[in-house]
Structure 1
Amino acid sequence: MKNLTLSLFFCLVYFYAFAFQNSKAKNEDETGEKIQRLLNDAESSILRYNFDGAIKKLDSSIALSKSINHERYLALSNSILANLQYIQHDFDAGTKSIKEAISLQEKTGDNIGLAYSYIQYAKILDMKGEFGKAKEYLSLAEDIYQKNDNREQLGLVALNRGILQIHENLDYKAALDNFHNAEVHLSASDNAYEKSRLNYFKASANISLNNLDEAEKNIRKSLEISHQHSFGGMIVSGNKKLSEIFEIKKQPDSALAHLQASFALKDSIYNMNEEELANEANSRYGHDALKNTLSSLTLQNAEQEKSLKVNKLTTILSVALITILSLLTLSLYKNNNLRARANDLLQKKNTELTLAKENAEKASLAKAQFLSTITHELRTPLYAVTGLTHLLLEESPTENQKEHLNSLKFSGEYLLSLINNILDLNKLEANKVELMETTFNLKRRISDVLIALKNSADEKGTKIHFNFDNSIPNKLKGDPLKISQILINLIGNSIKFTENGDIWINITKLEQNDKYASLGFEIRDNGEGISKEKQKAIFENFTQGSTQINRKFGGTGLGLSIVKNLLSLLNSEINLESELGNGSKFTFKLQFEVLETATATGPKKQEEEKIEAPSNDIMIDKKILIVEDNKINQMITRKILEKNKVNCDVADNGTIAIDKIKNSDFDLILMDIHMPGISGIEATVEIRKFNKEIPVIALTAVTLDENLDEFYLNGFNDIIPKPYKTEEFFTKINKHLAARETV
């Protein structure tokens, strides 16, 4: 009986509470939508200089926000009102409104609205000459937008920072730098008003720097945007600024015409606001007074009805709560000890889970560090193995010795591939891979990849066909290293499973606009193929098509997993079409920023490129300096080069290398990185101070934690990671020697 009574009371309380809350929530939602429409209309009126219309809508939104006690809408209304007062140069009233908005936003934790208000306050402080405080509020807004990665609003921060620099110390060049930053952030934005404002202030800065043609271009862009969206104030200011430019250029007729256009529109805006103000004043004591009285009575009646409902519900709830509390007191008392024991057990489990999480994170970090260290340490002895094997193979071994040496060479290359794949996978799993944005030629990049893979294809008796769409732009912006890594894994995979067959690499343009081009990549072969049931699992770590394929071709099953992760990093995905015994086709799409259009004219077509590696003849009699502290590595590198009739010299460290280069002429330098004394990077920086032409190639064991960009920024022309395949070693050396001869 007690349980039944308790259930009935719970149902009763839930029913009344739900009905009341549902009705209240529905009313608040409808009012909130109305407020949002009023605020949107108010902002639109401000941009068109319809100030009286904007004030009406803001007054209504403030009243409605107070009626439902909605502090966020009330704060936003005050923030927009402050912007209006800023445009009207009523800075004291604007300060009062924006401070009220900021106070409410800090109270409610509305960070996005708070950042918007910070920018409005900074603009007001700028006009009041309080530049230090203005900078502080711009920085506060910037911190919030950076945490939310809001590029458009970061652009507004940069724009207002540039305006502040003009007003504070007339630093026009610094202002233009900030305007450029703002332009980058606002490029994808549809905020037409701020783009018009940006071009207006760029014109002001360029006038002060006497860049009159650039200033005219800026202000015409501002006017174009303002006319499209009817931004009255910006059109007035833009024509006045254009008149100023023509006056400096000694073109009085044009200056007068634009000044008259500015005054005419300004009078029109003033008359529009004056007419609306008069209409409002005429009717304020008539119809509006009656309407306000009726509205006031209606609101009072609604409040009374709400009060009656609340009182009725309060009485019912009071009776129900007293009865429920009486029934529950005994139950709560009896269950108190049981709940305490459950809390202790839960706390213990939470402690155990926290400890397990920390141990797992430590284990993951230790694994990453171990892999990075051990693979790096393996490279030095492996370089000796592969280098000495190559030298022995070139010294006319017997057939029996040649067979053993080829097996040793294969094992060394297999081990190198395994090390590289583990490094790549470890780096991807540790989220240490970063995208690099740089300009490159895609056709040349792919050709370099195919040259590096040509010898492997020739050994398999496989032909590579490269078809490149000539309408693809010559200069693209993206990450060429990631693209090379993806193609090396995919093409290398096709070479591995295609014997005496064909491989087709097809690159096509899918679509293009002024800024971006979308390209399709296809790697197709007529090799072993992959069964349907294995196609989904083939991109997982350590997975291959079958046990038989693993035994026949070897490998770790990491290459395609790396490709999938890299494409995911580039916002793309890999697609596979294959049938066992009939080859495979891998396709994916990538988007690049266009920096230079293709030179080819006429209809779009593809042409098959011939892949030819440069000849080693260019190395004959060239003088190369080997900078290396390890004696075994010195000997191996020197003998490999001298076998190809290269004149070699050796420096044991960076200091000796600098002295030799100052006193002798060399055609190329092979520079180790980790050496006693000054490092290879420091040595290269010193060399570049007196010799900027000689090619310097880093010959080093690159680890996970080393940033490849650092090599190029400090003067290196290329990187050869140790150990290497001799074919790739010669290809890079020949490329830079050939490039130097053509200069």
Structure 2
Amino acid sequence: MKFIFQHIIIRKALLLAIYLACAPFVLAQERTNQVNGLETFFNETRIYKNQNKINLALESLDKAAALAEETEDEKALVDCYHKFALLYMELEKRETTLFYWDRATVLLNELEYPYGHAVHKFIESILLYDSGNNFQAIFMLNESRQLTNDRNLLNNILLLEANIYLSIEKYDSAALNFNSLVVNNDVFEKESLMAKSHLGLAKLYINTQDYEESIKNGVRALEIAQANNFSKEEFEANELLGQAYEKRERYNLSLVHNRNLLKLKDSVFTIEKIKAEAKTADRIQFEFMADEIKRQDAKIEELNESRNRSEITAILTSAFLTIISLLAVSLFRNNQIKLKTNDLLQTKNRELQTARDAAVQAMEAKTNFLSTVSHELRTPLYAVTGLAHLLLEENPSESQKEHLKSLKFSGDYLLNFINDILQINKIDADKLEPLNMEFNLKKVLADVISSLQQSAKENNTKIILEYDEEIPKHLMSDPIKLSQIFMNLVGNALKFTKNGEVNVIAKLMKKEEEEVTIYFEVKDNGIGISNEQQQNIFDSFEQGSIQINREYGGTGLGLTIVKSLLGLFDSKIQLESTLGKGSSFFFELDLKSKDSVIDEIPFEITQKDYDLNGLHVLVVEDNKINQVITKKMLNKRGISCEIAGNGNTAVEMANTSQYDGILMDIHMPGISGVEATIQIRKFDTDTPIIALTAISLDDSLESFYAAGCNDVVTKPFKPEVFYQKIGENILEHKLKKSVT
């Protein structure tokens, strides 16, 4: 008997141990099932929405919302509210959209959910665009873009931005966005985004009276829509094609598409469908509100039970009612005053809104002006620096060499000035965002010092790096912008220091897990800055005095750029200086370290001296002088070339001839270099394409790569950089191809 009892105890203990061992896996499996269930419903919602089956999309989303409430998943519930808002916007139920948007607002106030906040601002931009506030909508889209890396959301932001640009007749910007999405690789909505982008281009080309291009894009949109049952896009494509063919006086084809519209109205956009959608939408909204009323009733009942438990609550309630009675008259009078005040506030708000729109338009006009001027100056500057380089290589006399070096110096100076203006303009227009990539801080500082050694020698000044070896070797931030900061600070120190030294200091202040705080300082023993001059030394075009400007040169933009770039990192530059003894600029930066990386990554880029002889390339350039300069620079290295004067010619030549590579100018009349690249990639995905661009404010390197460019060179470019890019992209591609 005792043995049996012991056996039972041992058996129960074993079962308990097995349960405890398996419990975490069971719970994890349940959680995975819940997440998979939500994703299934979300995917169904997305598919039904793109197929214009809004009632079915609402049904699937309602199931997702129920599951999110059951599992108390607040982030998923926020996603559900956002998707409800977007679906009701499709049904043109703006008030219901605002209702669900407000419900999401309440939850987001208590949540750290960057993606949720990004979608929230995206929906707000849709509402602003719907009410005609285009510039505010663009501003809100930029805020949304900064909060997320989700590719699907970024693609939808790009699409909405394109439609806003289309509505305000910024056709170049709209075309750039639409063309980027035509070749998108979105995981969830690739075909939908392609169809909508082709429709956008079809509308754009109708507005610009390029009816043949409108027809091409309309036909492509129709093909995608029919293949994927996108009934709404199919309807719009037929409508646009009917208009475009009518404009081209091809009335038989216009009639075909108008008849298709009638068929679609009869078969897809029926009264029964509209009634079903409205019925489903009203039912789900009614059920949600009914559930909300039940939740509120439960809270009231809970409060009533609590009141019955305490006599103090009853006394306080009586006192509260007495106070309410005494204040009723006062509240009534206050309410009358409030109504009048609200009317006045609404009037002032409208005036403020008008003033804000005017200010935004003025800011955009200033930004576009500076961007255009900076870009237009780069094109002739390319001719100046390019010709100076070519002439210096043709064995000029000593007297000519001196003049040519002066010319090249002036060109480089002007280029730096233009770059500084464009940099500040980008920061002011919120076009710059800090990257987050792995880098070696010591390597960044060493490269900056190395590049400025020649300037230091000219002033007989030493540059000393004081680097704390406790700083982690692998950090995460934006090494390019950090290089710009130190180039300006160290370059500025060298300019005002002769026969002295400049110290570059980096010290580890704090390290908690992966969070790192580093102190930076650049100090010199140069001429120093007076207390009066320190007040505005960080303002644009300020160097302290006219005498300093004349003696030392420069634009007075370097410290302004430093201050603005540090603002992107939530850091602030500080200054200590004594006149005649030197200056010290210092700041702190919060970075992330990557302790998990053991081996140091080699950051050195090996510069190769490529033998480019025998390469044959296509140069796409509309400027005649630039054509001559580029051709001569190529011929000096044994590269033969053919010239295309515009994008359309480039597409034809690339389709009929073989080239080792293509050098593509971006800004051209007719179709741009981006559009030409997109068309070439439709029949040739192999030939390397290098973009040559006098880059402007609206240019996006991401859009160049998305169009199919392999690399980008900014004009006016340094010859060694130009040849290096050709070697890396065109020669190495040719060598690899010959091996295989």
Q: Give the TM-score normalised by structure 2.
A: 0.49
Structure with larger Rg: 1
Q: TM-score, normalised by structure 1?
A: 0.49
